[in-house]
Amino acid sequence: MQKLIEKSGVGRAIHHQRNAAEKNGIELTDNINDADIVHINTVFPKSAILALRAHIRNIPVIYHAHSTREDFKNSYIGSNLFANAFGKWLKFCYSLGDVIVTPTEYSKQLLMSYGIKKRIEAVSNGIDLNYYNREKTNAENFRKKYGYSDDDKIIMSVGLTIERKGVCDFVELAKRMPQYKFIWFGETNLNTVPLNVRKVVETKLPNLCFAGYASKDDLKEAYAACDLFLFMSKEETEGIVVLEALAMKTPVLLRDIPVYSDWLKKDRDVYKADSIDEFETEIKQIIAGEKPDITENGYSVAKQREIYKIGNKLKKIYNDTINNYAAVHKLNGVKLAGNNDKL
């Protein structure tokens, strides 16, 4: 169901995995009959069925946990009402994996709190530093396309236009600071979000632009051209767009939430804030150059999550899973499917 998730972080993560696999010589197939191991990223009913089909064929399963009960809340109409039921469904799906992979230690701890007993590995979604390269990007194209002058101070964000991503606070800051230009990339069907969020997204301000979905080429130019990447999400399992901004050496201001606590340090790698008032103060100081430039430190964090390194970690997990699965099932006299020497 790639088309359904193409514009989401999960869709981006799948592209990252394919890139990481190719860079590490891992052969990919979309045909389960050719697979040595199955890697699933979504929690649709078809995803669970695929995991069950793999087990019937004695093929080990990696289940990638991008979604949590916590990030399902404050997203769509009725999401809070069904959050507990969704959490139970997630536990069922993820438990179908022989190994579960999730982007951060924070999301790993959340999964463990659900009572999931399977092995869980924290592996970043990764970032392609060859592609996200400020020096190879024409930032002027972005300002020309959106009608910004060289003197305009631009604050950008990326994400679905839902409450959890901080879109309401983003618009409030645009109202408070008309001296800056605010632009948001990403979109959501407004019929699926609460009325208050719909009204916020439909706000008309001379310094505010909801630019809709943008290609990765357009986003790369935006990262290079803007003065600040503002990500006010209230819950994440990692945040691929944060890695993109760090890789592009763009100043980053985040909401201070637990997912970043162990790998993005405040005022060392990124700037952080909690309240609207604090965000406003931080923005003014960053734009005015009153805070130190820490973009090189942020870039160092991105380098630790370079896509080849992530692919190498996944390759090890694949091999370990295949070998462990083989050891267990050979003891039980079960013949394994697939050609297990590919990896």
- Give pLDDT tens digits for 197-235: 999 999 999 999 999 999 999 999 999 999 999 999 999
Confidence bin at 147 (pLDDT 50/70/90):
very high
Sign of the four-CA dihedral 237, 96, 323, 32: negative
Distance in angstroms between the alpha carbons of the first and the last residue of the chain: 26
Residue 170 has what pLDDT? Answer: 98
Does pLDDT of 331 surpass 60? no
Does pLDDT of 338 surpass 90? no
Render pLDDT for 155-196 as a digit per residue (tens, 0 to 9).
999 999 999 999 999 999 999 999 999 999 999 999 999 999
CA distance readout (Å), 318 to 27, 52, 194, 214: 12, 18, 41, 33
Q: Name the DSSP class of 343.
A: -
The one-letter amino acid at 57 = R
Contact 243, 158 (CB under 8 A): no
Residue 9 has what pLDDT? Answer: 78
Render pLDDT for 253-298 as a digit per residue (tens, 0 to 9).
999 999 999 999 999 999 999 999 999 999 999 999 999 999 999 9
Residue 332 has what pLDDT? Answer: 64
pTM of the predicted model as reported, rounded to 2 decimal places: 0.92
The token pair at 104 is 């951060």
43-60 average pLDDT score: 96
Q: Where are the alpha helices (DSSP H) in 215-306?
A: 216-225, 240-247, 276-287, 295-304
131-153 average pLDDT score: 94
Residue 91 has what pLDDT? Answer: 97
Residues 125 and 261: their CA atoms lie apart, in Å, by 17
Confidence bin at 341 (pLDDT 50/70/90):
very low
Residues 98 and 336: their CA atoms lie apart, in Å, by 15
CA 96 from centre of chain: 22
Confidence bin at 92 (pLDDT 50/70/90):
very high
Residue 336, classed as helix, strand or coil, is coil
Residues composing the chain: 343
Does pLDDT of 308 surpass 50? yes
Residues 229 and 241: their CA atoms lie apart, in Å, by 9
Confidence bin at 342 (pLDDT 50/70/90):
very low
